Amino acid sequence: MTSPTASTKLIAIIGATGGTGLACVEQSLKAGYRVRVLVRNASAFNAEITNNPNFEMLMGSVTDVDALERLFTGATDIINSLGGKEKNSTICSDSQPVINKALLKINNPSTRLITVTSISVGDNYWYSGKFTRAFASWIIPNAITDKNKQEREIVRSAHSNWCIVRPAGLGDGPVTGKYQIGDATFAPAGSKQIARQDVAHAILANCLSGNDTWLRLPMTVGYPPRFHKSDSLKQVSSTQGTCGGTNVLGCAVTGAGAGALIGGPIGAGIGAVGGFIVGQFAGRRTVTTITKSCQSSTI
C-alpha cells in the first residue's frame, strides 16, 4: 500500500480511539503516511504508535471548532470514524455541522473528507436484506437516525470533496482484503460482520485524495452476499413489500391467516392490522441512484 508520495500525505483522524479509527491509524502509519489525531484520552495508544515520528496527537473535542481547525490544518485527508457508544447518542450528527464549519475555516477544497457511517443508512436501506433492515429499524434505530442526519449534513455542506463509507456490521479480525465494495445498491452479507481492519484497508485503498472513484458517492463495503442487484447507470425502483403477498392487501390477508391459526377471529383481526402496517412500511419506494459496479478486493 506504500506509494512514492506517501510521506506527502497527512491524514487527520476523528474517532481514532475506536476500533475502525485505530485500524486507520495503524495502517496509515504502516503505509508511511503522516497521521494526526484528536482525542480526549492521551493514553489510548500504545508505545509503537506514539513513538512513531509520523504520529501526532492533539487533545480536544469534536464539538470544538477551534480544535478541529488545528486538526485539519495542512491535512490532505480527514477520516471520521466517530460512533456513539451510548444508546441514544447523537454525537455523529451533533459534531458534523462543527466539522463542516472547521472545513470552511481552513478553506482548502482539496482536503478529502471520508466519513464512516453504516449499511442501511440513506438510500442503502432499501437495498439491504430484510434481516438487516429489521435490525436497523428495531434494534439500532437511534444509531441509524444519527448516521442519517450526519450524511445529510455532509451532502448539504459547502465542502464538496467528500465520500461516505458504509460498512456492514463491524467486527474484529485481521486484514483479509477479501471484501467487496459497491454503490448504494450493494447489499453485503448483513449477517457476517466485516473486520474493522478490512474497513480501514478499503478506505486507504479507495477513498484517499487523488482517487476520485468514490468522490461525492457512498461506498458500501462488506463480505460478498449471495446476490448483488446492481447494473450500470440507471434509475432503480424497489419492489413492493411482499410479506407472503405482492402488496399491502396481500400482507393484510397473509397476516389475517396467520393470526387466525394462532388466535381465532381476534387473532385474525390483529394479524390483518399488523400485515397492513408491514405492507405500508415495506411498500413501494422509488430511489434515483447513480450506481457503480461491484468490485472485489484482494491483497
Is residue 230 scored above 70 in pLDDT? no
Q: Which amino acid is at 260?
A: A
Task: Please state, rounded to an integer, the average pLDDT across all residues of the chain.
Answer: 80
244 to each of 35, 91, 113, 260, how far by Cα in Å? 52, 39, 43, 16
pTM comes to 0.76
pLDDT band for position 7 (cuts 50, 70, 90): low
Taking the C-alpha atoms of residue 33 and residue 50, their distance in angstroms, rounded to an integer, is 14
Using a 10 angstrom Cβ sphere, with 0-12 exposed, 13-18 middle and 19 or more buried, the burial of residue 60 is middle
Residue 44: the pLDDT is 86
Span between the terminal Cα atoms of the chain, in Å: 9
Q: Which residue has the higher pLDDT, 3 or 140?
A: 140
pLDDT band for position 11 (cuts 50, 70, 90): very high
| Nearest in space to 92 (alpha carbons), one of 58, 62, 135 | 62
Model confidence pLDDT, tens digit, residues 146-175: 999 999 999 999 999 999 999 988 999 999
Residue 244: the pLDDT is 31
Q: Which amino acid is at 223?
A: Y
Is residue 114 scored above 90 in pLDDT? yes
| Nearest in space to 60 (alpha carbons), one of 39, 81, 44, 74 | 39
Which DSSP category does 123 fall into?
G
pLDDT band for position 90 (cuts 50, 70, 90): very high
Answer yes or no: are the C-beta atoms of 259 and 272 closer than 8 Å: yes
Residue 291: the pLDDT is 45
Residue 248: the pLDDT is 36
Taking the C-alpha atoms of residue 265 and residue 272, their distance in angstroms, rounded to an integer, is 10
Taking the C-alpha atoms of residue 165 and residue 288, their distance in angstroms, rounded to an integer, is 19
51-63 mean pLDDT: 97
pLDDT band for position 132 (cuts 50, 70, 90): confident
Answer yes or no: are the C-beta atoms of 274 and 255 closer than 8 Å: yes
248-260 mean pLDDT: 42
- The sign of the dihedral angle between the CA atoms of 48, 53, 59, 64 is negative
Residue 2: the pLDDT is 43
Q: Which residue has the higher pLDDT, 85 or 93?
A: 93
Is residue 262 scored above 80 in pLDDT? no
Which DSSP category does 173 fall into?
-
Output the DSSP codes for 198-225: HHHHHHHHHTSTT--TTTTSEEEEES--
Residues 6+ away with beta carbon under 8 Å from 43: none
Is residue 250 scored above 60 in pLDDT? no
pLDDT band for position 128 (cuts 50, 70, 90): confident
